[in-house]
Amino acid sequence: MLKSEMKAELVAVLGDAHVRDDTESRVSYSYDATPLYQSMPDGVVFPSTTQEVQSVLRIASKYNTPVIGRGSGSNLSADTVPVNGGLVMVMTRMNRILEIDKENLTATVQPGVYTQALHQAVEKEGLFYPPDPSSMKISTLGGNIAECSGGLRGLKYGTTKDYVLGLEAVLANGEILRTGGKLYKDVAGYDLTKLLIGSEGTLAIITEATLKLIPLPQSRRALVAHFDDLDAAARTVSAIIAAGIIPCTLEFMDRKTIQVVEEYARIGLPQEMDAILLIEQDGPPVLVEQDIQCIHRIAADNGAAHIAIAETEADGSRLLAARRSALSALARLRPTLILEDTTVPRSRIADMVRAINRIAAEYNLEICTFGHAGDGNLHPTFLTDARNQAEIERVEQAFADMVETALQLGGTITGEHGVGMAKAPFLEWQVGKTGIEVMKGIKRAFDPQGILNPGKIFSDRSLPRKGGT
């Protein structure tokens, strides 16, 4: 529940309907898509303008109350779980596409716009906004920016950070910060735009974004290659890139993932194969055809057991849609899924997959692996049950082991989901003490009171590293 004076001030700004602290509202904003984390906020607010966001932050500063910005709560790092209570600030009422500028190739949006809604709006104009997290149907652009979401098209087009040109954000004290603009070139001072992208709601609340658009590719074509040997799949990935082809999508699924996705989507995936690669290329039809034929040859040369080219663009879209549902579909096997996004250099994928399989055996756990093979971003997913405490403890140990392995292979603890709470204990392993201190300094500069999304990124729990630093 909110303190009555504070609630009165919030109501004066937002109106009665948009300030809630009843049990029902607090319960329903106590979680996001991350398993194992849940915590009740004191209240929930739904601002509709930048000025309202500003007022809420001023009130929150005055009462020294945490504020957690939230879109659809589809993130997987527990970043929107109000672990220290406070106010959850839901941004979904700020959901307008303010402008699509065809001359400058930009879109200006409010944070609550659904990612897919922007895709649809710009594609109607023959333009393209490539970042496509699997949750794009529901995830909001503000959330994408705060988390620096990746997606299936990251290999060729990059991720969210490559498409944000400018931001409007409100700082913890209620001051409005504007960064960048409709400029492709801009080196005035520190790059605060990039700093806010992926800052996980700990530095400011994003209230508007100017995004870069590119021309919509003329056509797209998908291909699926089946492998009865993991290494053959990994070799194929390397060989495609070595041949100078950058597909827009290059996805990997292991045997178990294939089986489950097939059960859900019924699209004819082979259930007896060790791995498949889903590959899509886009661009002018002639070049797409040329690349797809070349990929076909490379896959065959590298030992693919079967290769099929999608007949139409729609067939290809169906394949990729099925892949996007992989995580949730795995929930048919075990109730709790703990999805990781350890990422390694592309050339080390086979090593990483083998290590994952070794870890699964060692800790007696079930792990399915799928992910963005093209950019080395894997999603090893623990299939477990939150009610089985012993197993959950083994998961934690196995996860630490996996992080260790990824770092040894030159990788990162998180490729696209962010640190949040789930990976906070490992951040120091990757960035070192100095890295942590610099980051904390930045946090203090933006939010001296520490009210913006406390408990995220930085952990009190420092874990000893197995291999030493």
Helix (H) or strand (E) holding 441: helix 427-446
Q: How far is the CB of 227 from other proteins (least distance, A)?
A: 24
Instruction: Name the site residues for other proteins (rule: CB under 8 A).
Output: 22-40, 42, 46, 72-74, 81, 83, 85, 90, 92-93, 114, 135, 137-139, 264, 325, 327-329, 331-332, 335-338, 385-387, 392, 395-396, 399, 421-422
Categorise residue 174: left if φ over 0, alpha if ψ from -120 to 50, beta otherwise: left
Q: How far is the CB of 308 from other proteins (least distance, A)?
A: 23
Closer of 27 and 286 to other proteins (Cβ): 27
- Residue of 136, 186, 189, 142 lying closest to 165 (CA atoms): 186
Q: How far is the CB of 72 from other proteins (least distance, A)?
A: 6
Who's near 391: CB < 8 A, 6+ residues apart?
365, 384, 385
Closer of 35 and 198 to other proteins (Cβ): 35
Cβ atoms < 10 Å from Cβ of 22: 11
Closer of 26 and 255 to other proteins (Cβ): 26
Closer of 73 and 376 to other proteins (Cβ): 73
Closer of 28 and 271 to other proteins (Cβ): 28
> What gap in Å lies between CA 421 and CA 426, rounded to an integer?
10
Closer of 32 and 447 to other proteins (Cβ): 32
**Which residue has 């896959």 as its token pair?**
299
> What gap in Å lies between CA 395 and CA 355, rounded to an integer?
15
**Angle (deg, nearest 10), helices 285-301 and 230-242:** 140
For residues 306 and 276, is the Cβ–Cβ distance under 8 A? no
For residues 245 and 281, is the Cβ–Cβ distance under 8 A? yes
Closer of 50 and 135 to other proteins (Cβ): 135
Q: How far is the CB of 38 from other proteins (least distance, A)?
A: 6
Q: How far is the CB of 270 from other proteins (least distance, A)?
A: 20
**Which residue has 């023959």 as its token pair?**
126
Sign of CA dihedral 301, 303, 309, 313: negative
Q: How far is the CB of 290 from other proteins (least distance, A)?
A: 35
For residues 60 and 124, is the Cβ–Cβ distance under 8 A? no
Q: How far is the CB of 396 from other proteins (least distance, A)?
A: 5
